Structure 1
């Protein structure tokens, strides 16, 4: 029996060997497949966590941009209000009115007829109404006029300057009121874009530095650690040191103190050319006012889309020329006047990339959309309801409201000026700024920020990670593989793509959300 069993096994040993091999191969294949499935699940989990982390960082970055703009905008507003003192002109007009009233009372006491004073009052009725509106809308109290004449305050009275006529004062107030509101719109739009470029560049580089530190081998063992401040240092290469970030952000000083005044000069010239022939006593329709506003914008921005893209003239308002960079750093308190300032390589890279972004056609495109939003709010909403008395569109369709054609609505230009002055202050306000809120509703602004945040990840990853013979992007440790993948893809765009294609993909992503 035992011998028969041995013989049977001997005769079938080949079959047993083949079966064992098949079972072993099947087991190994199953283990391999299970391992791959587990690895894939782990990678997907890492990708999901990394994407969520990156999304939170990006959204927080945009909120930081909003708070930063609101914090530094009043600086530019103060400079513009000081350069275009509309309230001072109103006080001079009020003073002329007081002096004229005093003279008319004295003259009427010795006159035999009241006809001259009655005629004068009829002639000045429109101006009086406009000045009263200016007094209420521009926050000018009547006591300021009395105080300026009684106290002889040199800040309110300028005896050295030649006295201007009433017509000159009204023309000056017309140009200053309109130009001030328009200048603040341009300043707000440019500041919003500049701040988003700065904070998203820093946010991208800081995020990249944190990922690189995770992907790099740790050196926490005992020994001597030498500080490396050269370009091959990860944090310094990515601009993740505090001093570089502070200096880079301080370059907004140029727009707040110099660029906004250059913009103001250009706006004043355009407003003078377009609105100069308009009489403040004449009626003007809302359609006519919109047409004049568009004419001013064409002279400043360009008449066509091709002109706006080709000129790319906003860089000089946002960043100083290289010869003035040391001056900006000293004026902003980043270096002493005696210190010889020169931009470090990380700071130089940040400034060069910022210049490239500002000079891109997409910057001009997004800026135009932001300006469209702000000017639409100013003309079609604020002036339409406050000056032309066009009732706002009711959100409730069941509510019955008066139907008024905005194109045919009329108002005196002098009545519009107080609204321009009041809205100018609101545009430059650092608290609950509805013009900034309206700009942030433009979906291309978030798309532009997403492109800035993610467009150059591949370029920045390749050099520091692979440049020193360490780990490359292709053989990153599995624990950080998901983070590196999400880092490359960014919040809205894919990997390995140019700025142009990234812009298109970001917009498509936004279209999918809406």
Structure 2
């Protein structure tokens, strides 16, 4: 029996060997395939978790930006309200009116006073509308405290002078607050997204770095030389960097107010407060002020520099740190030396001087001025039931015609109803009362939500896209992508940026797709579609952006690894190499000390 079995195995040993080999090879192949599938699942899961983590960090960062603006806004609003005491002028007008009425009742009024009173009787209703500023409680605390001293002026002003000052100050105050709010919103987005990017990069590098050798004990503290410090993500640098918003809140707004006041005096100066004007006329006047402040043409708007309102010059940086309490009077900072803080300030300056900053600032101003003129003034002053910027629906069967560019307060092409009812009018004094009250609403940061901040964030989706570009830009070559720009970061006049060539008259939210197809916006798609939905990244022709996160260069469409991951991978590899070199140097120093 045993011999027969041996003979059978001997006769079929080749077949048995082949069968065992096939089974073994199949088993190994199956295990290999399963391992690859498992690795692919783990990689996809880790990538999904990383993207969700990045999205969550970015969204939280934008929420922090909104709350930061609300926290800083009252400081600027308090300074502006104190510099332009509209309520004090209103009180003086009311006192002069009371004095004339007292003289009239006592029979002591002269003929000239009677004629003057008759000529100005048309403004009494407007005076009552302005008195609502006090009845509704819109009086600043600093103005109440200084009311007694403010009234004891050596030379009393006439009613005409008071009305003119009231007109100029009311408009200047609200317009300055709008510009300050827009600039503060953009500055805060830039600052917090730059720091958020560094914080995220630091966390990614720390997770990917190998654990330190626990067998050696270092008696020296090297925490300041860690990963966070290498990427400028240390507490002191962040604190000093965020402190520079002090300049806009305490100095920049004053320069801006002077520029706005000059434009308001030139445009609204000849307008009598007793004149009845239409809302379209009010929009034309407001637009004229905006053109003088921001620029009348696209080239003028692009050449307008906002940096001096937002950040101090280099020789005043220590002054800002000392005034804000970060540095004592005897301390000096190291801003003149190359450092992470210097890099942050330079990068912020480049972003502020970029054409994209001006474009988005214009869109923010569009929403804020539209909320003030087309919404608040339309409802409260012109008694309109529907805001002027809302167009009638198609079901109403009303024809729409394009509105003239010069009559739009928002610097954009809107529509109006040619068959609507006669346009209502309102006295300029009544409009001034509404605008004066809205100054407190614009500067409201203690009782959110702020209607104007909400209008900006909901109406300007490009703001989130701009923040995404800043958040996801390359750490090592952190400059906003401007096709055709020179190496110093300035745009070449002969080759304008594709993100900035859209004329402001067409820079509405409907034109956003053309703006999103630019190389710079391609970065937002890699941050989970944070700009506007989960859309595919458009192909970029002929030129690769510096911030090429998510955008494949031309001729490399078959690559599967996104540029966003390449950036982080490069950062991790370089940081690991630096750490290995530092560890080798420390080991060599320890060996030299032991041998000596």
Q: TM-score surpassing 0.5?
A: yes
What is the CA distance between 1:143 and its match in structure 2? Answer: 13
SS at structure 2 position matched to 1:284: strand
What is the CA distance between 1:22 and its match in structure 2? Answer: 2.9
Bigger fraction of residues in helix: 1
Q: How does 1:98-247 map to 2 (within 5 A)?
A: 98-107=98-107, 121-139=117-135, 154-160=148-154, 162-219=155-212, 221=214, 223-224=217-218, 226-228=220-222, 233-247=226-240
CA–CA separation in structure 2 for the residues paired with 1:73 and 1:233: 35
Two-structure CA RMSD over aligned residues (Å): 3.4
CA–CA separation in structure 2 for the residues paired with 1:226 and 1:447: 44
Q: Residue in 2 aligned with 1:315?
A: 307
What is the CA distance between 1:107 and its match in structure 2? Answer: 3.4
Contact 2:294–2:304 (Cα < 8 Å) also in 1: no
**Structure 1 pair 503–294 and aligned structure 2 pair: CA distance change class (3 A):** farther
Q: Residue in 2 aligned with 1:55?
A: 55
Moved more, 381-390 or 349-358: 349-358
Is the counterpart of residue 296 in structure 1 residue 289 in structure 2? yes
Q: How does 1:413-452 map to 2 (within 5 A)?
A: 413-430=428-445, 431-432=447-448, 433-441=450-458, 442-452=460-470
Is the counterpart of residue 386 in structure 1 residue 380 in structure 2? yes
SS at structure 2 position matched to 1:155: helix
Q: Residue in 1 aligned with 2:347?
A: 353
What is the CA distance between 1:507 and its match in structure 2? Answer: 11
**Structure 1 pair 406–155 and aligned structure 2 pair: CA distance change class (3 A):** farther
Contact 2:84–2:173 (Cα < 8 Å) also in 1: yes
Contact 1:314–1:358 (Cα < 8 Å) also in 2: yes
What is the CA distance between 1:356 and its match in structure 2? Answer: 1.6
Give a deviation string over 1:394-441, Cα, whole Å, max 9, x none: 999999xxx995882211111111111100111011122111111111
SS at structure 2 position matched to 1:156: helix
SS at structure 1 position matched to 2:245: helix
Q: Residue in 2 aligned with 1:71?
A: 71
Q: Residue in 2 aligned with 1:370?
A: 364
CA–CA separation in structure 2 for the residues paired with 1:329 and 1:99: 50
Contact 1:281–1:412 (Cα < 8 Å) also in 2: yes
CA–CA separation in structure 2 for the residues paired with 1:200 and 1:253: 18
Long gaps (5+) in structure 2: 397-416, 479-517, 536-596
Contact 2:273–2:428 (Cα < 8 Å) also in 1: yes
CA–CA separation in structure 2 for the residues paired with 1:217 and 1:406: 74
SS at structure 2 position matched to 1:313: coil
* Structure having greater relative contact order (Cα 8 Å, sep ≥ 6): 1
CA–CA separation in structure 1 for the residues paired with 2:525 and 2:54: 20
Contact 1:134–1:140 (Cα < 8 Å) also in 2: no
Q: How does 1:16-35 map to 2 (within 5 A)?
A: 16-35=16-35
CA–CA separation in structure 1 for the residues paired with 2:534 and 2:17: 60
Q: Residue in 2 aligned with 1:36?
A: 36
Contact 1:450–1:506 (Cα < 8 Å) also in 2: yes
Match of 2:330 among 334, 338, 343: 338
What is the CA distance between 1:126 and its match in structure 2? Answer: 2.4
SS at structure 1 position matched to 2:260: helix
Q: Residue in 2 aligned with 1:485?
A: none
Q: Residue in 2 aligned with 1:255?
A: 248
CA–CA separation in structure 1 for the residues paired with 2:363 and 2:257: 20
CA–CA separation in structure 1 for the residues paired with 2:284 and 2:346: 38
CA–CA separation in structure 1 for the residues paired with 2:262 and 2:274: 22
**Structure 1 pair 270–233 and aligned structure 2 pair: CA distance change class (3 A):** same
SS at structure 2 position matched to 1:390: coil
What is the CA distance between 1:281 and its match in structure 2? Answer: 1.1
Figure out how many residues of one structure are paired with residues of the other and give that number. 463
Contact 1:286–1:407 (Cα < 8 Å) also in 2: no
CA–CA separation in structure 2 for the residues paired with 1:329 and 1:368: 30
Long gaps (5+) in structure 1: 461-496
**Structure 1 pair 505–22 and aligned structure 2 pair: CA distance change class (3 A):** closer
What is the CA distance between 1:508 and its match in structure 2? Answer: 7.1
CA–CA separation in structure 2 for the residues paired with 1:53 and 1:152: 52
**Structure 1 pair 283–375 and aligned structure 2 pair: CA distance change class (3 A):** same
CA–CA separation in structure 2 for the residues paired with 1:451 and 1:105: 69
**Structure 1 pair 141–212 and aligned structure 2 pair: CA distance change class (3 A):** closer
SS at structure 2 position matched to 1:512: coil
Contact 1:69–1:195 (Cα < 8 Å) also in 2: yes
**Structure 1 pair 53–505 and aligned structure 2 pair: CA distance change class (3 A):** closer
Give a deviation string over 1:116-150, Cα, whole Å, max 9, x none: 88765543332221121111135588999xxx9xx
Contact 2:178–2:442 (Cα < 8 Å) also in 1: yes
Moved more, 57-66 or 115-124: 115-124
